[in-house]
Amino acid sequence: MPSDMSQDEPLPVPPFVPIEGLVNVRDIGGYEVPAPTKDGRPCSVRRGLVYRGSEPGRITPDGRAAFKALGIKKVYDIRTEEELPPKEMKPANPPQAKSFLAEWQSPIVEIEGVERIYLDVLGDSSVPKDREARAQAYQELKKDSTEVLDRGAILKPIFEHLAKPHPEPIYLHCTAGKDRTGTIIMLLLRLVGISPETAAEEYELTNLGLREEAPRLVEKMLKAPEMSIDAETLKNIMVAKREYIVALCKVLDEEYGGAEQYLRSYLKMSAVDVQAMRHTLVTDEPPVFPKRQETHTGGLTISRGHVILTLFAFTAIIVVWLVHDRFIVSETAYQIPKND
């Protein structure tokens, strides 16, 4: 599937799903699974079960109707607390001053018949507290942070849902539906035997899904004085590069023993549940996207830190601005008691 289409070409359907008010929405199903059926026909990842995309804060009435028509019953929101509107933050955190990200902080929407489940996978540890340290960290893409795979236990409800008999369709999103969402999708695809190259190809489709939104966001970032990051660095961060997912798959295999072992040992899921989830994710329907000829990355060497940090740098920059805004609000103006 080409990822270098022009701006004027419509997004390919499938895998993309047009929903007014959302961007980068697609169905992760349709990819050919290596294990064939008993009669030798190829299997595929089940369509209409797992959707990924952007946060739904700007969804229109027509978009709501299209969203509900997909049969989605659960929305898993994996943004950090700092990416939510001020009223959604914990009471201990003061409201933020208005910034260029005000438009990005969309309201939490409730869609009738759909349950929203919030899972803060990165948590407070994702943001250095010192302002200069933050600037240095994100400019160099180096910081001692808690990585998504290491904090993956918080994502267990997603996998438990998919292990149930006949689970209802779900929608996964962070802010843009790029990196944190991409890690979860990679885990699901690797569990059923999808190759790192194909998982990376699915991730790279994000460049198409964000082709209109990404330039506008970079332009807004460049106008903010808080971070001295040049335009080329920002543009590079916004690109979904397949080699990052290939390298992340290597981290998953070498440090966690692969997707199944990760789910069993790290998330403490039973062998029965993992097998049930694999059974749910695979169907004997013919693939929409036949198995591609795999290529190898040759001598690609990317450290664990650079893999994860580059994947989540865009999220981190958003968090930086939002947290920075808190520092410029007078502490005496908001004496809000701490409670969860």
CA–CA distance, 191 with 281 (Å, rounded to integer)? 9
- C-alpha distances in angstroms, 191 versus 241, 257, 263? 21, 12, 9
On the CB side of 309, how many CA atoms lie within 13 Å of its CA? Answer: 15
- Per-residue pLDDT reduced to its tens digit, 179-205: 889 999 999 999 999 999 999 999 999
Retrieve residue 317's tokens.
């920059």
- Per-residue pLDDT reduced to its tens digit, 121-171: 776 544 444 444 444 444 433 332 235 777 788 999 999 999 999 999 999
Yes or no: say if 20 and 269 are a contact pair by the CB < 8 Å rule. Answer: no
Is the whole-model pTM more than 0.95? Answer: no
Q: For residue 87, what pLDDT band results from cuts at 50, 70 and 90?
A: low
CA–CA distance, 233 with 216 (Å, rounded to integer)? 15
Rounded to 5 degrees, φ, ψ at 326 are: -65, -35
Instruction: Please say if the pLDDT value at position 84 is more than 60.
Output: yes
Yes or no: say if 274 and 163 are a contact pair by the CB < 8 Å rule. Answer: yes
- Per-residue pLDDT reduced to its tens digit, 116-128: 999 987 765 444 4
CA–CA distance, 311 with 297 (Å, rounded to integer)? 18
- State residue 237's pLDDT score: 76
Instruction: Please say if the pLDDT value at position 208 is more than 90.
Output: yes
Instruction: Please say if the pLDDT value at position 109 is more than 80.
Output: yes
Judge residue 113's burial from the number of C-beta atoms within 10 Å of its C-beta, 0-12 exposed, 13-18 middle, 19 or more buried. Answer: exposed
CA–CA distance, 275 with 270 (Å, rounded to integer)? 9
